[in-house]
Amino acid sequence: MGSWDNLLVAQSGGATAVINASLVGAVETARASARFGAIIGARNGIEGILGAEFVDLGRQPPDVLMAVARTPSAALGTTRRRLDDETAALAVRNLARREVHHVAYIGGNDSADTASRLARAAVDARYELAVVGIPKTIDNDLPDTDHCPGYGSIARFMALATRDAGRDTEATAGLYPIKLIEVMGRNAGWVAAATALGQERDIDSPQLIFFPERPARDLATFLDEIGAAHRRYGHVVAIVPETARDASGDPLTGAEAYWTDPFGHRYYQSPGPMLARAIEERLGLRARYDKPGTIARMFGACLSETDLSEAHMVGAAAVQLLLTGVSGVMVTLVRAGDAPYRCATGTTPLASVANRERHLPDEFITDGGRGITDAFRAYAVPLIGGPLPLYGRLLDLDLPGA
């Protein structure tokens, strides 16, 4: 490949608070190299490549890039479209028309599949194309990387939101003693685990975390655990995954999916409202539920500075790999130390990431299956970008002479 080949950058999958930092890291590194004739952005991921919808990234003013880097969601737009052989071949032809020989593709498990298919289609077409994946997912479930850009920021959000929900539930225990918080994360418990990072005492919320890796045996068992926690604490904040299932793997909301995306992920009705109704009807306890949803995965006010820095770092590393002729890999984050915390970059084959999930390991879940261990705290606290604001409690003081 020549010195003046063009570079294309695209974003895909669920947007995060820091995905644009990866975009800017790639663009700034590419511009500094002076090795690319043009730096092109594809609108809405692979959709933009297929529809030839592009934007010039190379001529963006520095102040624009600086602002975009700290802006949540995907500046280029995103997609969940899956490539097949026909559309992959069309994508390669459209890249060839623009003389694009390097692609940096930002995304998660499904996006690694897209990037891998694109690289294979180029080989089949005998077109020189180097493709490197840039990791991104709030689910934190990509294999072969210590953690994923996007996770530190949602972890900070969930820690703060759960701590506040706990104070509110404690204060209103006479009205609504049970609060369910439904969290994202698909089939892995990384986001659920982060809800406990704001605990200062063992009795602080959340009192129960129903990890995808440790589901309740059935609805009756779930209710038994809620009831027991209420008797112990007087109020309960319980974390339930969006994919809440029983021990046999069946969704608690019923086996019928209301939608299946192009990558085969099945979506079921939200478990929060159903479980809240069951608590009220069977336990006689008033219950509420919160579902932060997409606001949690890209809430700019809870952006982790560590997350932001590392997102920029993996974007830059991807372009550096492309400049040295590397292809078919995803950039990874490698923890280089904990005192102080340090992180470097590495690589793993795209094929090792595509359509695979990394679950929360046993050592991060307490023996009872409903809380986090000190090992998880040591892992996750450096990622959330500094300590949480301190809260206070009134002292239980008697009046003089009482």
- Residue 219 and residue 106 in one domain: no
Are the C-beta atoms of 229 and 189 separated by less than 8 Å?
A: no
Instruction: Look at residue 203 and give its three-state secondary structure.
Output: coil
Q: Which of 359, 355, 282, 381 has its CA nearest to residue 82? A: 355
Q: Which amino acid is at 385?
A: G
Are 223 and 372 members of one domain?
yes
pTM given for the model: 0.95
Position 144 in a domain: no
Q: Do 332 and 191 fall within a single domain?
A: no
Judge whether 331 lies within some domain.
yes
Sequence-separated (6 or more) residues with CB below 8 Å from residue 263: 80, 82, 110, 113, 355
**Is 139 in the active site?**
yes
Residues 282 and 306 in one domain: no
Q: Is 34 left (phi over 0), alpha (psi -120 to 50) or beta?
A: left
Distance from C-alpha of 132 to C-alpha of 149, rounded to nearest angstrom: 16
Dist. CA 54–CA 10, nearest whole Å: 10
The verdict on 203 and 99 lying in the same domain is no
Report if residue 84 sits inside a domain: yes
| Residue 115 within any structural domain of the chain | yes
- 8 Å CB contact between 74 and 22: no
Q: Domain with 222 in it: what CATH number?
A: 3.40.50.460
Between the CA of residue 108 and those of 42, 141, 237, 355, 391, what are the distances in Å?
17, 9, 30, 9, 35
> Is 393 domain-assigned?
no
Nearest residue to 15 (alpha-carbon basis) of 170, 199, 153: 153
25: its two tokens: 């890291």
Residues of the chain where predicted confidence (pLDDT) is lower than 70: 1-4, 254-268, 402
- Residue pair 182/270 in contact by the 8 Å Cβ criterion: yes
284 and 312 co-located in one domain: no
Residue 119 lies in a domain: yes
Question: What is the domain extent for residue 59?
Answer: 6-138+301-353
168 and 248 both lie in a single domain: yes
DSSP 39: E
Residue 389 lies in a domain: no
- Domain co-membership, 280 together with 166: yes
For the chain, report the end-to-end CA distance as a whole number of angstroms. 86
Any idea what the CATH number is for the domain that residue 41 is in? 3.40.50.450
The pLDDT assigned to 3 comes to 44
pLDDT at residue 249, rounded to an integer: 87
Q: Please provide the size of the chain in residues.
A: 402
What is the tens place of the pLDDT at every residue in 96-155?
Answer: 999 999 999 999 998 999 999 999 999 999 999 999 999 999 999 999 999 999 999 999
pLDDT of residue 154: 98
Half-sphere exposure of 215 toward its Cβ, with a 13 Å CA cutoff? 20
Q: What are 211-232's pLDDT values in tens digits? A: 999 999 999 999 999 999 999 9
Instruction: Say yes or no: 168 and 270 in one domain.
Output: yes
Note the helical H segments in 40-108. 46-50, 62-69, 85-97
Give me the catalytic one of 110, 139, 141, 307: 139
Domain count for the chain, please give it: 2
Q: Are residues 244 and 331 in the same domain?
A: no
Residue 401, pLDDT score: 81
Q: Is 330 in contact with 50 (CB distance < 8 Å)?
A: no
For residue 114, what is the enclosing H or E element?
helix 109-124
